[in-house]
Amino acid sequence: METAYLIETVIKIVAVLLIFSALAGLGTYFERKVLAFMQRRLGPMNVGPYGLLQIAADGIKLFTKEDIIPTGVVARIFKIAPVITAATAFMAAAAIPFLPSFTLFGYTVNPIISDINIGILYILGIMGVGLYGPLLGGMASANKYSLISAARGAAVFISYEVITGLSILAPIMMVGSLSLVDFNNYQAGGIGDWIIWSQPVAFVLFWIAAFAETGRTPFHLVANDHEIIDGFGTEYSGMRWGLFFIGEYANMFFISFIIPLIFLGGFGDGSFLGALAFLGKVAFFFFFFLWTRAAWPDVRPDQLMWLCWKVLMPIAVINVVITGFVMMF
Amino acid sequence: MFEAVAFYLFAFLTIAMFFITVTTSQALYALTALAAGMIFISAFFFILGADFLGAVQIVVYSGAVMALYAFGMMFFDTTRDVKEKHGNKLIVSGLSILVAVLVVVIIAAPIVSTNMSASYPMTEGVGNTQEVGMVLFTKYLVPFEVAAVMLLVAMIAGIVLAGKKMDLSLTLMSDDDVRQVKEEENKKVLS
């Protein structure tokens, strides 16, 4: 039993790593296509049918490019920063149930690497650690714009982490557990049981915070467009820059898994249809990330902090208090 | 077996990280090693089955060290080494060894004399998080509330200290108003 468990876990870890690294590549293709269609362009077209082989071309380019460590940087920190982003993104996946449990050749598989009973707290904590990547990358490269970008990253981190925690608190109070599997089972009864109907405010707040957490467009402050260059990633080249990219896209996918699991019923009762619906919800939330990038400009850092501390945080606290009163009486 | 391997691995990693934190003269190494050490400590909580405390360790300390980075950014050029004053090395190392031994003795004494019992034993079938909550809101309610009040006081003090002219936004003011504010400040400096 022990050996079987070990083998199963290793296979699951390898599967998650491979699938989401590949999806990160596919994600870039989808992003470019979706942005292109929304802006009345064609996007990648030349490599392969509809530009599908663009992913392979990008991959070859990133892997074979020279790995440059500029002079004047703190070399060790500079080298380790992209690894932190990519590694923490995948570490967070350990507590996410990707699909309902299914039987394969008479062997029941739970598509979750480790069902620890504090799942959501662990995921948010590890995703928070992921911001060390941009921060260290920016501080280690001897470049003023990278440093400014790292400073913005730290400011954003301190702002949105509060919102994430407080907004998720109200659903946690209702479910009475921190495990994502319990969240799913709480809403297994169908659409009427979804937490979004009883916690719409928390849903919107968490969704907004998710954009800050992944650093996507309305809050894409770590790489500010006004400076034309790529923020903390300016000094990076080749696969080290690619690791930042994989981390960012993997984070987007994992957040897209978490939002439906918490608020929109997840995979429901665990039937095949439920699993399909779950993947559909995940696809919608991923698409929404791309949609906002096409449709909205970035906000300024001070606007984001004003939004987080003066608007969203009071709303989140009031939401928690009201939830507490409703549950008590 | 896995627990032993994990324990020794993370024990070595934690000690190595904190050793780097103390000995290096490069601010960025020190901060990064500190953050890594804090996160590796959470592994011990996970090995002991205290999942909740492990996750809280990660959440709290990653945020706290992030604030340290912000200070590091403001005070140092983090890509250069910091020049340190080295006092009497004998006193420093002697004192630190003494403190380390003392801590080990304090922790180990009840274990050696087998004079240890859980005053709040685990309830069967209750999760980790609920367990912490029960102890926190019964036995340790007063310290918990006092800590909350202290944090509130610190927050209000911080707002009062930092919040002068917080309602002024230079981006929203017209150019004349900005000039007026500047002139007033100049007058204050001159007088």
Q: Which of B140, B148, B48, B133 is nearest to A178 (CA)?
A: B133
Taking CB atoms and an 8 Å cutoff, what residues of chain A touch B27?
A: none
Say whether B73 and A139 touch across the interface (CB within 8 A).
yes
pLDDT at B143: 94
Confidence category of residue B191, pLDDT binned at 50, 70, 90: low
DSSP track, A162-192: HHHHHHHHHHHHHHT---HHHHHHHTTT-GG
- Interface membership of A109 toward B (CB under 8 Å): no
Of B51, B63, B66, the CB nearest to A117: B51
Task: Locate the chain A residue with the closest alpha carbon to B30.
Answer: A77
- Interface membership of A10 toward B (CB under 8 Å): no
Q: What is the mean pLDDT of residues A67-84?
A: 89
Say whether B58 and A129 touch across the interface (CB within 8 A).
yes
B112/B56: higher pLDDT: B56
- Indicate which of A121, A173, A177, A182 best probes the interface with B, i.e. most B CBs within 10 Å of its own CB: A121
Domain ranges within chain B, ordered by starting residue: 1-84, 140-191
At residue A298, φ and ψ (nearest 5 deg) are -80, 150
Q: What is the pLDDT of residues B99-154, one digit of tens each?
A: 999 999 998 888 887 777 777 777 777 777 888 888 888 889 999 999 999 999 99
Give the CA count within 13 Å in the CB-facing half-sphere of B85: 1
Say whether A72 and B69 touch across the interface (CB within 8 A).
no
Say whether A139 and B55 touch across the interface (CB within 8 A).
no
Interface A-B, measured as beta-carbon pairs within 8 A, has a size of 84
Q: What is the mean pLDDT of residues A139-160?
A: 84
Q: What is the mean pLDDT of residues B152-178?
A: 81
Q: What is the pLDDT of residues A241-253, one digit of tens each?
A: 889 888 889 999 9
Q: Which of A280, A303, A313, A267 is nearest to A112 (CA)?
A: A267
pLDDT at A1: 59
pLDDT at A281: 92
Spell out the residues 6+ positions from residue A238 whose beta carbon is closer than 8 angstroms to its own.
Answer: A62, A63, A65, A66, A67, A68
CA distances from A96 to A19, A50, A293, B36, B40 (A): 14, 33, 26, 24, 22
CB distance A139 to A158 below 8 Å: no
pLDDT at A146: 87
State the smallest CA–CA distance between residue A140 and chain B in angstroms: 6
Say whether A132 and B72 touch across the interface (CB within 8 A).
no
Q: What is the mean pLDDT of residues B169-180?
A: 78
DSSP track, B2-57: HHHHHHHHHHHHHHHHHHHHHH--BHHHHHHHHHHHHHHHHHHHHHTT-HHHHHHH
Q: What is the pLDDT of residues A278-325, one digit of tens each?
A: 999 999 999 999 999 888 888 888 888 888 888 999 999 999 999 999
Burial of A243 (0-12, 13-18, 19+ CB in 10 A): buried
- Average pLDDT for chain A: 87
- The tokens 């779950």 sit on which residue? A278
Taking CB atoms and an 8 Å cutoff, what residues of chain A touch B35?
A: 132
Topology annotation, domain B1-84:
Four Helix Bundle (Hemerythrin (Met), subunit A) (1.20.120)
Of B66, B69, B128, the CB nearest to A117: B128
Q: What is the pLDDT of residues A93-117, one digit of tens each?
A: 988 988 888 777 777 778 888 878 8
Q: What is the pLDDT of residues A11-59, one digit of tens each?
A: 999 999 999 988 888 888 999 999 999 999 988 888 888 888 888 898 8
pLDDT at B186: 78
CB distance B40 to B99 below 8 Å: no
Say whether B52 and A118 touch across the interface (CB within 8 A).
yes
- Indicate which of A88, A118, A300 best probes the interface with B, i.e. most B CBs within 10 Å of its own CB: A118
State the smallest CA–CA distance between residue B98 and chain A in angstroms: 33
Say whether B78 and A122 touch across the interface (CB within 8 A).
no
Residue A187, pLDDT > 80, answer yes
Taking CB atoms and an 8 Å cutoff, what residues of chain A touch B66?
A: 131-132, 135, 154, 157-158
C-alpha A219/C-alpha A217 separation (Å) is 5
Task: Locate the chain B residue with the closest alpha carbon to A71.
Answer: B79
Q: Which of A312, A202, A320 is nearest to A263 (CA)?
A: A202
pLDDT at B190: 67
Structure tokens at A180: 């994502």
